[in-house]
Amino acid sequence: MESKLRIHSIGRGYPQAFIGVLFLVFCAGIIQAEEACKPEQGMSFVCGPVNAEDLVWVPGTPWIISSGMSDEGAGHLYLLNTRTRQYETLYPPGSPQHRWDRDMFAVCPGELDTGNFSAHGLSILPQGRGLHRLYVTSHGAREAVEVFEVDSSGEKPVVAWVGCVPMPEYASINSVAALKDGGFITTRISSNAPDASDETIFAGEISGFLYEWHPGGEVTRMAGTDMSGPNGIVVSGDQRSVYVASWGRGEVARFIRDDLGKLALDKTVKVGFRVDNLRWTDDGMILAVGHRLSDSQDCDTPLCFDQWAVAELDPEQMTATALLTRKPIPGFTGATVAIPDNGGLWLGTFHGDRLVYIPDADR
């Protein structure tokens, strides 16, 4: 009814035939949208979120926060209710909240430019009483880890930007893992210097490393963490083990932190595809998601994939077990992250207009 009223008001003064054409076009658009969002390959969709590259649960709630990358600098954070399968834009809404914690984030040069950022990797740190700190690797006006406070004590989570940690010159960061003291480790996947090339990553050569930051300190390059395309990252509960995806070599590396805080490479495991993000499961395993590139470059996306895949890693044994593979489809180029939900998986993509849910029975 609301849609018909809108068409009627727009069409005042125009011939009824023209109004009829508008109505038919409108209905055709609805049908096309519904057809495009129909389940396929055992996947159901929540259509709308653009380039939802990374996902995190808001602990103790049915809500998922999704990043929203944008080459044009108008990035988003999305909020998904996993029970109703409805989503909304979480940030920036009509009146984005900014409460800069200048003591905690004294290194931040200024507030986030809501019109020129691109939300990429995510990590969330519970603070108690329904409060959480959300870390977002962001590009745009500045290369930085942007930090938000998430309040989930109400009917639904709300966020406020509280600070940032800018990266060193020419750093191109990807994923982030929060640390218990409020600091983080982030992956510097490559350089964004004018003469830099991504060919080193495709060739499996060293292109990046890890940065670490603690409140009151500076961003520090972590010695001994040089990798080919360091991408996803998770940290163990005791913070002694750090697991990092090497996109360039299709493997996951485990680093062990010594008593002096230094990381040393302990072991790697080949996964069988180029690994993007990593996520813990409730039973202490790690989900690794990534892609197998196509020999053909005849595609209308930033990268051409043959398949995308999900594997489960045993963090103690450093072994990988394949869980599922799928073909790219329009609207979902390839999965970049997977998080478990009631025996199924929610998945996001770096290039597409939807989130995916795969129930356990269809794995």
pLDDT tens across 181-227, in order? 999 999 999 999 988 888 999 999 999 999 999 999 999 999 999 99
Q: Residue 363's pLDDT is what?
A: 53
pLDDT at 74: 85
Question: Which residue numbers in the chain have pLDDT < 50?
Answer: 1-33, 361-362
The pLDDT of residue 34 is 62
- Determine the straight-line distance between the first and last CA of the chain, rounded to whole angstroms: 40
Q: What percent of the chain has pLDDT over 70?
A: 89
Alpha helices in 120-235 (DSSP H): 199-202
φ, ψ of residue 241 in degrees (nearest 5):
-115, 135
Question: Could you say which architecture CATH assigns to the domain 37-362?
Answer: 6 Propeller (2.120)
Question: CA 31 from chain center: how many Å?
Answer: 30
Name residue, tokens 């929060």. 178
pLDDT of the residue at 14: 36
Q: Which residues of 195-205 are buried (b: 16+ CB within 10 A; e: fewer)?
A: eeeeebbbebe
pLDDT of residue 296: 72
Residue 156: count of CB within 10 angstroms of its CB:
14
